[in-house]
Amino acid sequence: MKLLIAQQIQKKYKQKIIVDKVSFKVNEGECVGIIGPNGAGKSTLLKMLATVEKPSQGTLRFHELGYDGNIKKIRKKVGYIPQDIALFEELTVKQQIQSWSRLSQGKIDKRHVDDMIEILRLNEVMKKRTSDLSGGWKRKLNLCIGILHKPELCLLDEPTAGIDIAARKEIMDWLKRLQQQGMTLMFISHDWHELRALSDRLLIVDQGRLLFDGTIDEMKFMKYDDGSRDLSNIVQAGLEYEHGWGR
Ligand SMILES: Nc1ncnc2c1ncn2[C@@H]1O[C@H](COP(=O)(O)OP(=O)(O)OP(=O)(O)O)[C@@H](O)[C@H]1O
């Protein structure tokens, strides 16, 4: 079953095209990785899917709901975790989770929340003030808060950026657990290990365009016809990571 359908979506800031007529579909329960060079338009694409930005052109549908006129309903079903961390710094972790749960428009499933707290090991820092947490802990807390309402689709912008290997593994395990529970995931990453471990499918974005939509295994048949060095390097790195095909 299709969960999300993007048709020819475009985003312009002033006259500059940031996302250029991108179309793709996401099935229920799928995990889609998004990769591309810096400034390619990945975050802007994710923001449109999250209803944070409105496409300048094109259409987005979530199940049978068009994004136009249904933003409130869609936000209940979609979780978005941006790179920036927006937390109440003066609250303890426990208060933070309680406050965001109260602010949530949907019903909170306590088991889901407890499960996230456990797997992200947030119970170790429950009494700490948010302002006293390290960057990695803040990121984990931010991730937990972004999907307190147990959305059907979770959109993550570089969920493991700038954190240590142990915490990264916890986040990966947590994402796998969410996927096993049936959540549909889309995540931006620059890390082939993560993309390989989590994604069923890959979207490669460059200069606002969708250059590839398929499995990592299908990627080895990809032809570069636009001479994009950055993209070739990204694909090359992926292939080298896989089996040394690119060497
Ligand atoms: N609100 C905005 N106004 C004007 N330009 C913007 C705005 N947001 C993003 N851009 C521009 O759009 C381009 C793509 O940005 P975006 O953050 O989507 O790229 P990205 O692929 O996520 O990059 P990175 O991997 O570095 O995070 C950049 O050139 C950026 O400067």
- Domains of the chain, each with CATH number or no CATH: 2-243 (3.40.50.300)
Beta strand extents in 133-181 (DSSP E only):
153-157
pLDDT at site 226 = 61
Tokens of 76: 């209940």
The CA 46 to ligand 1 mean position distance, Å, reads 11
How much distance in Å is there from the Cα of 60 to the middle of ligand 1?
20
Buried b (16+ CB within 10 A) or exposed e, 38-67: eebbbbbbbbbbbbebebeebebbbeeeeb
Position 247 scores a pLDDT of: 41
Ligand 1 touching residue 13 (CB < 6 A):
yes
The model's pTM is: 0.90
Give pLDDT tens digits for 105-155. 777 888 989 988 998 899 999 999 999 999 889 999 999 998 888 899 999
Residue 159 pLDDT grade (very low, low, confident, very high; cuts 50, 70, 90): very high
Q: Is ligand 1 within 6 A of the CB of residue 36?
A: yes
* Span from the CA of 182 to the centroid of ligand 1 (angstroms): 31
Is the distance from the beta carbon of residue 38 to the nearest atom of ligand 1 less than 6 Å? yes
β-bridge pairing 153-157 and 184-188:
parallel
Q: Return the H-helix or E-strand segment holding 76.
A: helix 71-77
Rounded distance from Cα 40 to ligand 1 centre (Å): 7
Q: 42 CB less than 6 Å from ligand 1?
A: yes
Interface predicted TM-score (ipTM) of this complex, two decimals: 0.95
Q: Which residues contact 28 (CB under 8 A, 6 or more apart)?
A: 1, 2, 3, 152, 182, 184
Which pLDDT belongs to residue 238? 72
- pLDDT at res. 166: 85
**Which helix (DSSP H) or strand (DSSP E) does residue 145 occupy?**
helix 135-146
Partners of 78 in the beta sheet? 153
Q: Does residue 238's CB lie within 6 angstroms of at least one atom of ligand 1?
A: no
CB 162 within 8 A of CB 135: yes
Residue 246 is predicted with a pLDDT of 42
Task: Choose the residue to mutate in 10, 16, 43 for probing ligand 1, maximizing ligand atoms within 8 Å of C-beta.
Answer: 43
- List, for residues 180-199, the tens digit of each pLDDT value: 989 999 999 998 889 989 99
